[in-house]
Amino acid sequence: MPPTLFTADQIAALLKALPDPAFLLTRSGLYSAIFGGADIRYYHESSYLIGKTLTEVLVPAKAEWFLGEIHKALATRSLHVVEYGLTGSDVKGMENEGPLQAIWFEGRIQALDFQVDGEDAVLWVASNITGRHQLEQQLRLQSESDELSGLFNRRKLMATLGEQHSVFKRYGTPTALLIFDIDHFKNINDQYGHPFGDKAIRAAADVCRDELRATDFPARLGGDEFVVLMPHTGRTQAEPIAERLRLRIAEALLRLGALDGGATISGGLSEFLPGDANAEEVLKRADEALYRAKRGGRNRILSV
């Protein structure tokens, strides 16, 4: 059976029916043609882009990124796949109109064997993957979060400690670390029950979220133990932060009621040192200071 021959109109109709949009983009970033985008659940009419350039449509940083990916595809001559997000603030003239949350796409970019408008060109097929991206983000967050406290979990903490130690070794960026736990926590569980102990852990975690800076990294190490990593912060700078946490957590635990005289925390504070072979060494120093604080009467932060 001979192959079906399509007319020019039929080929045009086929291209128009493509669910995902395909952009014909030149090396300089000119939108030469646009095909498809028929799935109106995910895509808006984009034919107005034809004849415009990326720099005319997108803010400079975003336009530069797109041009860079086009050049990579042209250099390799093979299929180049990227993932990227776009918000209204990325598109000129839509800063106050477009979506506040990023819409995520997978871009499949293939260099063409012929020139378009006198330039090398690529076919850029954009597929909306926002749903998949959000699910991946949720799964990643779940794998990195402690279910009870809502803070980062031990696995995420240890990975971040290793990353931060690498940054410290390379750039000398000061980094402090605080470890603390709730005083007499076993007695709290024994006297008031584990559900009340869970409330105490959540109360301490809430204070961490409220009192710490956006750059700080609070995590639940396990049981009633917490760790706060403070990048770009030396031990001396971290001391008032740790002391504020001690006072605020004591207040939060007192507000829970039932506890005779409230409850307190004890902690150990240290910082990354040039001689540390790994991040576990600073964690060990802080942990030793924590236990000295316990032996010294509790309700205190010791700095080493």
27: its two tokens: 């090396």
Quote the CA–CA distance of 142 and 125 in Å, as a whole number.
31
Whether 66 contacts 28, CB under 8 Å: no
Residue of 41, 36, 42 lying closest to 21 (CA atoms): 36
Phi (first) and psi of residue 298, to 5 degrees: 70, 180
- Active-site hit among 20, 216, 224, 287: 224
C-alpha separations of 204 from 9, 137, 301 in Å = 67, 26, 15
Would you list the DSSP string of 78-100?
S-EEEEEEE-GGGBTT-TTTS-S
Quote the CA–CA distance of 66 and 80 in Å, as a whole number.
12
Is residue 39 among the annotated active site residues?
A: no
Quote the CA–CA distance of 236 and 198 in Å, as a whole number.
32
Whether 88 contacts 103, CB under 8 Å: no
Quote the CA–CA distance of 83 and 72 in Å, as a whole number.
14
For the chain, how many residues are written?
Answer: 304
38: its two tokens: 């028929």
Amino acid at 212: L
Scan for tokens 């032996």, then name that residue.
Answer: 295
Scan for tokens 């709290």, then name that residue.
Answer: 188
Mind telling me the catalytic residues? 224
